[in-house]
């Protein structure tokens, strides 16, 4: 099975739970489990190749120019983590089926679980670090949904927010670190990065890259000082805790450190940061766990401690320590997932997780007692279970590192024994109570089967480590260290009498004593002053929120002028700083001579522009000046041999001016003075600086020889697109996808105007518009007869011109966009001359439908290319002869241009017609003519035909 399919299966399967729940909860769980099982079988199909030391790859180009490709690879490390994710995930799915109550939406739970599962599998199989970062952030988002699954619990919502805040912050840091790492290696592929150890560690960017990457790893794996979020995530349902916080999410940071171990480890900074953080976390988590009364709280801090243990081993930087880390990752996943499920069983049956309310469950829940005891003894590091083996190897490595590591590791192991024994003796031993919230009893097979299987692995690995996991540990360790041969190590229960055994005996004996003294120690712990991580986090978050609120309130006061001033001033300062601190090189392109027409055109365009700046408060005059500037620009385009741009500019100006005229009908004639003289001077200085900057940039660009792709379009316009009009060929062929997006935006804008007008005309808004009638001076001749006659005579001519412009657009100036505007202007003149009601009554095609047909026509034109094996919107052309016409060219892009034409026409007319409708509603006293050209005589006088009230 392809690695890409293995990573995609959970995401695809996330669609099933919502569908299968209608067939029952069993069907929902079965479908979810089948997806995970299929992915697991696909992964296992690669096991022989992985054990041979081969690397399985799947590579798909996505955005190669950006270095973002959907590349996957599978080695020993990826296989181990993917196996844990899918294997334990399958057990969790079975366990959750019987754990969740009938009131819990099972389909949502399984959907979130599969999304998280897919994100985790994507992390461990990604070969591209950009792709890995995408999956990394998906784990944060999907875990947020899982932790906050019980939305009715405030602590669940708070735990989800805390986890997202901390891990999301680390994810942002990780993005920066990974980008730096890829920049140093010259590639974003992990397989390439792992081959550049020397270049990475010798780079000046090694330190910032390391710090940012470790920040991402530490936050995800709850390392000190970010350990506090994990216990608060225990408000999630127990299946979530068993999955996320023992085998998957919190292991993501460990995976990242193990994956990048070959290129980041071996330096003093790596040792002090990683091993130091791991040592502190291991000890601190173990101490706190002993004094937690909540079963899941105890297991949460024990998880923090064991994550610190693995982090410490990876930080030591030796190959044997890496082997021990790999071994303990496997062991921890087995016994900790079993322990979380055991805690869930106790909570499910006894209705409490409070250790002080439990006890005596040994006889009431014998199956649960056996499972929990074996798993807890493994967590304590007692023989003959698998936790003992990796703990002994850890103590051996700590003893050979330094005295500090040896002492701290022994202390952590001591408290690990103590809290593990407390889990067993304070929960299962002692007398039976008569005040349980509910009568405890063993659950059905469906709930204890999964932890029982994991406990079986705990025993099997402890007794037969070489047989069960020996080959896997060796393969994974070689993938981590990139070593051809590993130094000697032994996976065995007995290594003789050595320092590790002595440290272990001390830890077990002292841990038992701590358990006996727990009541006294607990009282001292409660009485002792100590910082609370949650309180610090809440206070810090509140302080950041207050600061952000003050800054936001100061800057975002609703004044657009302030926003634009800050943004423009910042741009001017940044650009000026870049210009004056760099060596400016004058371009070599010669200046063109100043001709009289060019000089006249410059003066003509500057006069209305300056007048517009000075007289902008008069809105109508400003609109006239804008029209003058637009018309002069059209002349300028024609002068510079750009007829397409000239025609487009001219038609856009006509439509825009009419649109703005209609909008100005509902606005005051003059803009009120709102800015003080000082602010106007400030804005003037900022505007002058921005204008000079833009002018200088244009000047600098024009003085340089052009280095662009324009020549490509000129050379390939006819051969590639079948047209001599390069502008139109670019719009409908070379960059047709851009145009497709633009017409969608245009159509959405037209429909949005329609929706807003419809909302305004209802209720109070319509009343205010009708009340505006008294404020406007009404003309006596609503429909000038000469204009009515002229526009109706011009309409067919304009339609023919529009068709002509459209048809010639592929080879000569024109095209669908210009043709749409020309026809829109011709139709609009009918509205202006004969009135809204007359024009609407003769409208045969709804403008909404015209927009939809236009966009669909453009879309189907692009889709049709797929059926011929070409990319989306790839066009073709040929020549057709229809007697008696001469041979002419037909291009498939013309169909796309039809879509552009219809969308432009529909959007423009919809917007203008709706604004016209607003004006008609606000002026109800003017009579409606059935037809302005219908006239009758009355005693020799000509008057309009009969009218009716609105």
**pLDDT > 70? residue 411:** yes
Confidence band for 921, pLDDT divided at 50, 70 and 90: low
Confidence band for 713, pLDDT divided at 50, 70 and 90: confident
**pLDDT > 90? residue 81:** yes
The per-residue pLDDT for range 854-902, each reduced to its tens digit, is 999 988 988 888 888 788 878 787 777 777 766 666 778 888 889 989 9
Classify 294 as helix, strand or coil: strand
Mean pLDDT in residue range 461-475: 91
CA pair distance 407, 71, nearest whole angstrom: 44
What is residue 933's predicted lDDT score, i.e. its pLDDT? 58
Please state the φ and ψ torsions of residue 948, each to the nearest 5 degrees: -140, 160
Mean of the per-residue pLDDT values of the chain: 85
Per-residue DSSP letter, 21 = G
Element (H, E) at 4: helix 3-13
Per-residue DSSP letter, 108 = H
CA pair distance 480, 329, nearest whole angstrom: 13
**pLDDT > 80? residue 695:** yes
CA of residue 95 relative to chain centroid, distance: 31
Q: What is the pTM of this model?
A: 0.70
List, in order, residues 6 or more apart from 212 with CB less than 8 Å away: 173, 174, 176, 177, 178, 180
CA pair distance 390, 330, nearest whole angstrom: 10
Yes or no: say if 410 and 501 are a contact pair by the CB < 8 Å rule.
no
CA pair distance 805, 801, nearest whole angstrom: 6
CA pair distance 735, 717, nearest whole angstrom: 12
Classify 510 as helix, strand or coil: helix
The per-residue pLDDT for range 654-679, each reduced to its tens digit, is 888 887 877 777 777 788 877 788 88
What is residue 943's predicted lDDT score, i.e. its pLDDT? 44
Q: Which residues of 278-296 are buried (b: 16+ CB within 10 A; e: fewer)?
A: bbbbbbbbbbbbbbbebbb
CA pair distance 302, 287, nearest whole angstrom: 9
The per-residue pLDDT for range 121-173, each reduced to its tens digit, is 999 999 989 999 999 999 999 989 988 888 888 888 888 888 888 898 999 99
Mean pLDDT in residue range 535-557: 85
CA pair distance 5, 56, nearest whole angstrom: 13
Yes or no: say if 769 and 922 are a contact pair by the CB < 8 Å rule.
yes
CA pair distance 162, 166, nearest whole angstrom: 6
Cα→Cα distances 764→768, 769, 924, Å: 6, 9, 16
CA pair distance 596, 599, nearest whole angstrom: 5
Task: Using a pLDDT cut of 90, give the percent of the chain over it.
Answer: 35
Instruction: Write the burial class of residue 500 (CB in 10 Å: 0-12 exposed, 13-18 middle, 19+ buried).
Output: buried
Mean pLDDT in residue range 584-592: 81
The per-residue pLDDT for range 15-74, each reduced to its tens digit, is 999 888 888 889 999 999 999 999 999 999 999 999 988 889 888 877 777 777 888 999
Strands 928-929 and 888-891: unpaired
List, in order, residues 6 or more apart from 178 with CB less than 8 Å away: 129, 130, 132, 133, 212, 213
CA pair distance 210, 170, nearest whole angstrom: 13
Yes or no: say if 121 and 89 are a contact pair by the CB < 8 Å rule.
no
Confidence band for 947, pLDDT divided at 50, 70 and 90: very low
The lowest-confidence range among 147-151, 586-590, 944-948 is 944-948
**CA-wise closest residue to 425 among 457, 387, 380, 383:** 380
**CA-wise closest residue to 210 among 249, 168, 256, 163:** 256
- In three-state form (DSSP H/G/I as H, E/B as E, the rest C), the secondary structure along 323-336 is HHHHHHHHHHHHHH
CA pair distance 544, 778, nearest whole angstrom: 58
List, in order, residues 6 or more apart from 206 with CB less than 8 Å away: 184, 200, 267
């Amino acid at each position: 099975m392809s690695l890409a399919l293995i990573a995609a299966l959970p995401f695809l399967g996330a669609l099933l739970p919502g569908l299968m729940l209608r067939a029952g909860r069993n069907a929902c769980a079965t479908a979810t489990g089948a997806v995970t099982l299929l992915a697991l079988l696909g992964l296992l199909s690669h096991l022989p190749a992985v054990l041979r030391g081969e690397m399985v790859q799947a590579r798909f180009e996505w955005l190669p120019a950006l270095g973002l490709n959907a590349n996957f690879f599978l080695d020993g490390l990826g296989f181990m983590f993917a196996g844990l994710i899918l294997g334990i995930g399958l057990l969790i799915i079975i366990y959750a089926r019987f754990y969740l109550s009938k009131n819990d939406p099972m389909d949502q739970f399984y959907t979130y679980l599969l999304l998280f599962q897919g994100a985790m599998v994507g992390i461990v199989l990604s070969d591209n670090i950009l792709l890995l970062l995408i999956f990394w952030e998906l784990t944060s988002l999907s875990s947020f949904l899982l932790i906050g699954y019980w939305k009715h619990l405030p602590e669940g919502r708070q735990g989800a927010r805390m986890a997202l805040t901390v891990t999301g912050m680390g994810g942002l840091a990780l993005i920066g670190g990974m980008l730096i790492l890829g920049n140093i290696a010259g590639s974003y592929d992990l397989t390439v990065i792992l081959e550049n150890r020397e270049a990475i560690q010798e780079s000046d960017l090694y330190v910032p890259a390391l710090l940012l990457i470790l920040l991402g790893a530490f936050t995800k794996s709850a390392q000190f000082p970010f350990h506090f979020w994990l216990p608060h995530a225990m408000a999630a349902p127990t299946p979530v805790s068993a999955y996320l916080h023992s085998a998957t999410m919190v292991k993501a940071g460990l995976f990242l450190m193990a994956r990048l171990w070959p290129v980041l480890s071996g330096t003093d900074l790596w040792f002090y940061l990683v091993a130091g953080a791991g040592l502190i976390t291991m000890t601190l988590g173990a101490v706190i766990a002993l004094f937690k009364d909540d079963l899941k709280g105890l297991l949460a801090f024990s998880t923090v401690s064991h994550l610190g243990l693995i982090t410490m081993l990876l930080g030591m930087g030796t190959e044997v320590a890496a082997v021990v880390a790999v071994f303990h990752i496997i062991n921890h996943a087995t016994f900790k997932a079993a322990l979380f499920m055991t805690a869930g069983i106790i909570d499910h049956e006894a209705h409490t997780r409070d250790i002080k309310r439990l006890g005596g469950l040994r006889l009431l829940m014998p199956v649960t007692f056996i499972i929990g005891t074996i798993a807890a003894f493994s967590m304590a590091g007692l023989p003959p279970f698998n936790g003992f083996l990796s703990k002994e190897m850890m103590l051996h490595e700590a003893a050979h590192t330094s005295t500090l590591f040896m002492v701290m590791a022994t202390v952590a192991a001591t408290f690990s024994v103590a809290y593990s024994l407390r889990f067993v003796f304070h929960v299962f031993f002692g007398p039976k109570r008569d005040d349980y919230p509910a009568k405890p009893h063993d659950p059905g097979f469906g709930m204890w089967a999964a932890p029982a299987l994991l406990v079986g692995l705990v025993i099997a690995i402890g007794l037969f480590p070489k047989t069960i996991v020996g080959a896997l540990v060796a393969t994974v360790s070689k993938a981590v260290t990139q070593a051809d041969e590993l130094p000697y190590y032994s996976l065995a229960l007995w290594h003789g009498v050595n320092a590790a055994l002595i440290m272990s005996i001390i830890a077990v004996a002292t841990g038992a004593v701590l358990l006996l003294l727990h009541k006294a120690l607990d009282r001292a712990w409660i009485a002792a002053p100590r910082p609370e991580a949650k309180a610090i986090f809440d206070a810090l978050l509140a302080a950041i929120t207050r600061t952000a609120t003050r800054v936001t309130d100061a800057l975002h006061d609703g004044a657009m002028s302030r926003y634009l001033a800050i943004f423009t001033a910042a741009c001017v300062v940044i650009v000026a700083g870049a210009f004056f601190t760099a060596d400016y090189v004058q371009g070599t392109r010669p200046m063109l001579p100043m001709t009289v027409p060019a000089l006249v055109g410059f003066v003509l365009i500057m006069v209305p522009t300056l007048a517009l700046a000075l007289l902008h408060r008069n809105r109508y005059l400003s609109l006239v000046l804008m029209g003058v500037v637009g018309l002069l620009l059209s002349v300028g385009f024609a002068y510079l041999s750009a007829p397409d741009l000239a025609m487009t500019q001219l038609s856009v100006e006509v439509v825009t001016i009419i649109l703005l005229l209609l909008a100005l009908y509902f606005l005051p004639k003059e803009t009120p003075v709102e800015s003080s003289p000082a602010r106007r001077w400030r804005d003037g200085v900022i505007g002058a600086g921005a204008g000079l900057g833009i002018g200088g940039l244009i000047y600098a660009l024009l003085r340089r020889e052009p280095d662009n792709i324009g020549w490509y379009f000129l050379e390939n316009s006819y051969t590639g697109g079948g047209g001599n009009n390069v502008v139109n060929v670019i719009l409908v062929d070379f960059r047709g996808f851009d145009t497709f997006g633009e017409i969608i935006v245009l159509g959405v804008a037209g429909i949005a105007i329609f929706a807003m007008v419809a909302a305004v005309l209802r209720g109070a808004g319509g009343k205010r518009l009708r009340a505006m009638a008294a404020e406007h001076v009404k003309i006596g001749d609503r429909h000038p007869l000469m204009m009515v006659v002229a526009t109706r005579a011009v309409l067919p001519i304009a339609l023919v011109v529009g068709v002509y412009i459209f048809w010639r657009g592929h080879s000569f100036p024109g095209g669908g966009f210009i043709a749409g505007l020309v026809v829109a202007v011709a139709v609009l003149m009918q509205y202006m001359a004969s009135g809204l009601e007359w024009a609407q009554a003769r409208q045969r095609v709804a403008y909404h439908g015209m927009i939809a047909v236009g966009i669909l026509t453009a879309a189907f034109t692009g889709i049709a290319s797929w059926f011929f094996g070409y990319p989306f919107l790839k066009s073709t052309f040929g020549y057709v002869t229809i007697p008696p016409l001469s041979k002419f060219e037909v291009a498939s892009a013309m169909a796309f241009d039809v879509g552009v034409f219809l969308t432009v026409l529909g959007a423009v007319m919809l917007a203008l017609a709706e604004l016209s409708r607003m004006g008609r509603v606000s002026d109800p006293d003017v009579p409606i003519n059935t037809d302005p050209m219908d006239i009758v005589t009355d005693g020799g006088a000509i008057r309009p035909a009969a009218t009716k009230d609105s």
